Amino acid sequence: MPVPSVSVLDDDPYVRAAINNLLESRGYIVHAFASAEEFLRSTASTDTSCVIADVQMPMMTGIDLLTQMRTQGSATPFIFITAFPDESVRARALKAGAICFLGKPFAATDLVQCLDLALAEGNETRG
């Protein structure tokens, strides 16, 4: 079975680095991006196993990215992270199709648990 590729999108370089290090230490291939636009310009946007995205990013939000990808037919699982865990934003993210919604700071075990769930769901979708 191929090693899952995970895309991490956050405009905070320290958050990107921390998640990158955590996931690489667990054996994942990680692609990190500072924005949704940077992600969309990359090949990772079409071949990633899961997206972990900040909700609040300049230009395009994480939820806008998820909505755009769903409109284009992508079933890639999404996990959202945010420093502003507002209940209405959480509801919007989950309604748009997010697997998990984590407030920063979050425990590494919570992120890994969400990722396991997202990858399992992604495998079911690909059948």
The full set of domain ranges for the chain reads 5-122
CATH domain 5-122 topology: Rossmann fold (3.40.50)
Query: In this predicted model, what pLDDT tens digit does every residue of 46-74 receive, in sequence order?
Result: 899 999 999 999 999 999 999 999 999 99
> Is 51 exposed, middle or buried (CB count within 10 Å of its CB: 0-12, 13-18, 19+)?
buried
Q: What is the pLDDT of residue 127?
A: 46
Query: In this predicted model, what pLDDT tens digit does every residue of 87-109 receive, in sequence order?
Result: 999 999 999 999 999 999 999 99
Average predicted confidence (pLDDT) for the chain: 93
Q: What is the pLDDT of residue 89?
A: 92
pLDDT tier, 3 (very low <50, low <70, confident <90, very high otherwise): confident
Task: Report, in this order, helix, strand and coil percent for the chain, each rounded to 5.
Answer: 50, 20, 35
Q: What is the pLDDT of residue 125?
A: 56
